[in-house]
Each structure stands twice: as structure tokens, then as C-alpha cells.
Amino acid sequence: KAGVTQTPRYLIKTRGQQVTLSCSPISGHRSVSWYQQTPGQGLQFLFEYFSETQRNKGNFPGRFSGRQFSNSRSEMNVSTLELGDSALYLCASSLDRVGYEQYFGPGTRLTVT
Amino acid sequence: KNQVEQSPQSLIILEGKNCTLQCNYTVSPFSNLRWYKQDTGRGPVSLTIMTFSENTKSNGRYTATLDADTKQSSLHITASQLSDSASYICVVSAAGGSYIPTFGRGTSLIVHP
């Protein structure tokens, strides 16, 4: 069974631009969660999608948004990028709930200049 | 406020030695506690997951313990190998609600030959 895949793996953007990251969960998994990881803050929960609906949301500004498609693939969008958005963005999938066994993808390294 | 504290922040040991990492949490009501291993630049990989009724779980040379009364967990690594060099992250999920996980900042382990 293929693992969680994320594209692109690396991205360099300029302040003010927007970016879209993609995540394909493990086949059969319906819950997809997104996390931001920085050296200073560690892993922080962004949001969780389940059956195309946002089920949970972390404490991030509205510039961070996401969606999930009918095949459970998910995208995350960050608008009006700031330098502080530079981070490793991780996607994780689980069968049905964010609080249980999760499988993480390799992440997308976003650098904002 | 739900919190997960890990100690030590970093640890250096010699190959072949054992070590123990600590995790204290204030997440309530408790659902489960997970330990992840994260290699530099990669996504976290699950080592163990424990629910309230479990007080020990092993995965090869990794053994996790849980004391739900004192809200403490430990991860013991036996006969360390160079490949154990990584960040170890403790994650606790609450029950009866959103199940959003709370992450510790991790312990950075370096194994020297």
C-alpha cells in the first residue's frame, strides 16, 4: 500500500504570493490533517478534513485554508505569504479520526523570501 | 490548556547504550498517547500508540510506558544504533471532542559511534 504523498517537496516563494500544496492520503483513509512545523514552535495543527468537510481547525489566520476532494486528496492554500510562513508543512492521513493512528507524508519545505 | 512537555530537549549517547525519554502531559480527558520518530527533513513515523488501559507497549528496541494517574510517559531505547539519531515526538489526543492532538516539542537524540 502506497504511503502518504505530498507535492511539491520543495518550494520557494516571495512575500505576498500565494501557494498551494497537495496531499494524497493512504488509500482508504478518509481523514487528512495538515500541520506546520518550525524549529521554534514544533508541530502545530492547521486543520483536518474528513469526507470533503473541514472537521477541525487550529489557531491559524484565515490566510491558511484547505479543501478535500471526493477521492480524499487534499490541498492547502496559503495566501499573502509572510516570511514567518517558512516551514515544513506536513500532511497526515488516518482511517477516520485525527486523534488516532496517523501516517505522515514527507512534507513540503516552503521557503518565503 | 492542553500541554505536552518533553525532556530532555536534547540527548547525546554512545552507540550501544540505552536511554529514556520523558513526556508529561496535561491533556484531558485522555484518549491516547503516541510516540513518533522524525528523521531530519522527513515526516514523523509512528513508534507506539497507547490508550488509557495500556501501560506498556513495545516496538522492537523501543518500549513506551504510560502512567495515566501521573500523566507521564517514557520511551526507552535499548542498545542504541546510529540510525536512532532523530527527533522523538510525544503526541497526546483528548477524547470526547475534536480529538485534535497536542504535540510535544520533541527530544533530539544523537547517537555517536
Expressed in percent and rounded to 5, the helix, strand and coil fractions of chain B are 5, 60, 40
B interface mutation test: which of A45, A94, A102 has the most B CBs within 10 A?
Answer: A102
What distance in Å separates the CA atoms of residue A102 and residue A52, rounded to the nearest whole number? Answer: 18
Dihedral (CA of B2, A5, A88, A19) sign: negative
Tens digit of each residue's pLDDT, chain B (113 residues): 889 999 999 999 999 999 999 999 998 888 899 999 999 989 999 999 999 889 999 999 999 999 999 999 999 999 999 999 999 999 998 886 667 788 999 999 999 99
What distance in Å separates the CA atoms of residue A84 and residue B100, rounded to the nearest whole number? Answer: 23
Nearest CA-CA distance, residue B56 and chain A, Å = 17
Q: Is A4 on the interface with B (CB under 8 A)?
A: yes
Partners of A103 on chain B (C-beta within 8 Å) are 46
